[in-house]
Amino acid sequence: MIKLTLKDGSVKEIEQAMPASEIIKGIGMGLYKAACVVKINGEIKDLRTVIDSDCEFEVLTFDSKHGKETFWHTASHLLAQAVKNLYPDAKLGRGPATENGFYYDFEVEKPFTPADLEKIQAEMKKLAKEGFELERFELSCDEAVKLMEERNEKYKIELIDKHNSKGEKLSFYKQGDFVDLCAGPHIMSVAPIKAVKLTQCTGAYWGKAEDGIQMSRIYGTAYPKASMLEEHLKQMEEAKLRDHNKLGRELEYFTTVDYIGQGLPILLPKGAKVIQTLQRWIEDEEYKRGYQLTKTPFMSKRELYKISGHWDHYRDGMFILGDPDDETKECFALRPMTCPFQYQVFLNRKRSYRDLPMRLGETSTLFRNEDSGEMHGLIRVRQFTISEGHLILRPEQLEEEFKGCLDLAKYCLETIGLAEDVSYRFSQWDPANPNNKYEGTAEQWEEAQGAMKKILDDIGLDYEIGIDEAAFYGPKLDIQIKNVFGKEDTLITIQIDMQIAKKFGMEYVDKDGKMKMPYIIHRTSVGCYERTLALLIEKYAGVLPLWLAPEQVRILPIKPEHNDYAYDLAEEMRDLGMRVEVDAEDDNIGPKIKQARFDRVPYMFIIGDNEVKDGTVTVRSRKEGELPAMPAADAIAKLKEEIDTKAK
């Protein structure tokens, strides 16, 4: 008998090996119809996977993250099938699931137009009604190449060669007459794809942009029910209104300039003020928690990166000054991270166990040569600032210090109001890909990952596992967050490194007088400031919490004779550290209020004859509406308390 431990802890027994799909049918046909994929011992597997041994067995539906990914991946195949039906000469590229749908790249004679999308969408709906089942099969390399040659799919042949060189299986999925090279997983048939919307057609590159192979990309989304699609489209309309790339420019937080470069935003006074506020708060909070502030160079000779391993593992992502292959001349690179620089603080003199843990923090400006297609507003840029830190410690201090890093990250997220929007990913190495991407032995990796797993499990953190998502030197806890369009990025990361100290000769004298290597934790507290600003603009639709708002109060005198009182109030409030502006334009009060609302100013103080005479203000709050007139001192105290407590 084969025993399956289900999600609720119950055990189901089967007499012989069988596909997961058949097992699910035995549990219930309703569950089978809703099933998208299964999780076997924590790993995502196709419904066609044969279960032949005892395991943990969980069925994932469209309501789950992996269920959606599988559903949308199948929808991308449906899109490709529709395109091939309508445009037989189109060449297939790639078609993955995305955060809220899917895309597929094609080489076509003429780029697709919105009118083409309507025809393709109609064809997809027709094919879905035919209910083709997806059949998985594997081929040898020669067989796979022959099949794709017969179908004149040159890009698939390129992918076959790539996967075969890595020793990966060459699997295909067939639906009707359509066949695609694909690792899966997929749902059982296209029938559940009831509602489809193709949203956009853009240009894309096959491989690197400099290769110049232009493709035509179609984006779309799909749902099991039309009502779910309608709800999603409504959310996307709301997302467009909150999109920081639009709203942040309208509110003058940042701008970009073509002749400066993509991914190099200019922070305007509002954006710079918010980041300055965050930065000062983080630096002060880290100081309270025992961090020492450092300031290190923006660039280094390549020799530093060779020692750290970044030259071998991260060189393509670096901005290099000079010829990287000419060893006879100096070559520099802008720093993509601060760790090898901060290690020099430890190495500055001989260290003992009494110096540890050494907590080093820095507001670091970093440079990464991101692909042009990845750039998006402030969320993914080529120059950015990060709350970076490295903790150098004795092995027995690892658990306490890691928990301290996580506590700081959680505190930061809760304070700025993003704690409920994040998820946690335990990013691990891929033992099948050790030589090309990772350093160290399997034993070192198992030790580091085992230590992190124990810590995460002990504190009861709810996390997912990300295989092949680790840094090249160690596992990490990635704190993930999505923007308004559902695109997921890493906001904060905490990493365990048991290897790099040896490369730099970092040693300390332990209690027994022997020289030992420290462990290192790489971490951020609030992550990338630019990305955080973008997420805050989207989260609050531009109305930032009072303590973060670039302009906290706008004083609106009704007539010119009220200006003196308004300026006196503004000076008093600025002396208390508040950010205040006076709109003394000779204009009616209505347009002034309208402009303040457009600018998302949290509070307005309106000044008229009675307010001047009585020493009061009439307060308009974005959250509370218009409040009764109150003494100016009381109004200022109310706002000061809200700022000091960092109320959301």
The binding site for Zn(2+) comprises 339, 390, 522
- Helix or strand or coil: residue 55? strand
Residue of 568, 569, 560, 559 whose CA lies nearest to 603: 569
Residue of 338, 451, 347 whose CA lies nearest to 400: 451
CA distance 25 to 603: 59
CA distance 33 to 283: 53
8 Å CB contact between 509 and 353: yes
Residue of 312, 329, 322, 641 whose CA lies nearest to 500: 312
Number of residues that this document lists for the chain: 648
Q: How are beta strands 508-509 and 351-352 bridged, if at all?
A: parallel
8 Å CB contact between 392 and 358: yes
8 Å CB contact between 455 and 494: no
Residue type, position 390, single letter: H
Binding site membership: which residues? Answer: 339, 390, 522
Phi, psi of 494 (to 5 degrees): -130, 120
Structure tokens at 39: 């999780």
Phi, psi of 495 (to 5 degrees): -125, 145
User: Cα dihedral sign for 588, 593, 594, 599?
Assistant: positive
- Helix or strand or coil: residue 522? strand
CA distance 619 to 593: 11
Residue type, position 91, single letter: K
